[in-house]
Amino acid sequence: MPAGELSKQRGFTLIELLVTLMIATIIAIMAVPAFVGFLARQQLTGDVNEMISILSFARSEAIKQRSDVSVIFSPPNTATTNRRPESCRNNEVAEELSDSNGTSANYRYSGWCYWVAKSDAADAILRLGQSANITTPDQAFSLTFQSLGDANIDSCRADSSGPCLITLNPQQDDIDPVTLVINTTGSIRRGEP
């Protein structure tokens, strides 16, 4: 190019940039709900897998150690005189109570907590987990796995002859809840939707 000639440089106009930005914004707005649903499904899957893992661990420890091993479930927003394990005391609220025996405390927590402990040494926590998605049962309960792998599920089941049903529901309309079925034989499986 000769030294005296100016070359024409071509770029994007402001209108072209605004149109491109508008298209990118529309695509992002459409993608966010799908991504939020994806994250909620992944969280539910993680919670289900963690719970199956902890229940299977408790059963295998009961068989291995030839002694009872319990999985204790503590619900949220329920006053209890028993404190949770240290790692599960998120958002703990202590309420002091006075009665004829003196002063005691009730504790409330946010979210579910469940932990594995040997039945003869309840203070020795073997493993624990947390979930915000458990919807049923809605009260405190425990499962005790025995030395042959069988399970005592009496405090969990709704009727005296059925299995223990633990339902995890992320409280979103577009995501189906997952139910875990624990039988007296100690088997743990996902329920049919």
Share of the chain above pLDDT 70, in %: 90
Q: Is residue 6 part of a domain?
A: no
Give the pLDDT score at 99: 63
Give the pLDDT score at 130: 86
Q: What is the pLDDT of residues 34-62, one digit of tens each?
A: 888 888 889 899 999 999 999 999 999 99
* Domain coverage including residue 159: 16-190
Q: How confident is the model at residue 20 (pLDDT cuts 50, 70, 90)?
A: very high
CATH number, position 41:
3.55.40.10
Share of the chain above pLDDT 90, in %: 39
pTM of the model: 0.77
Q: How confident is the model at residue 170 (pLDDT cuts 50, 70, 90)?
A: confident
User: How many domains does one find in the chain?
Assistant: 1
Output 122-131 pairs: Cβ under 8 A, ≥24 positions apart.
Answer: 122/70, 125/85, 126/57, 126/58, 126/61, 126/69, 127/54, 127/57, 127/58, 128/54, 128/85, 128/87, 128/88, 129/50, 129/51, 129/54, 130/88, 130/90, 131/47, 131/50, 131/51, 131/168
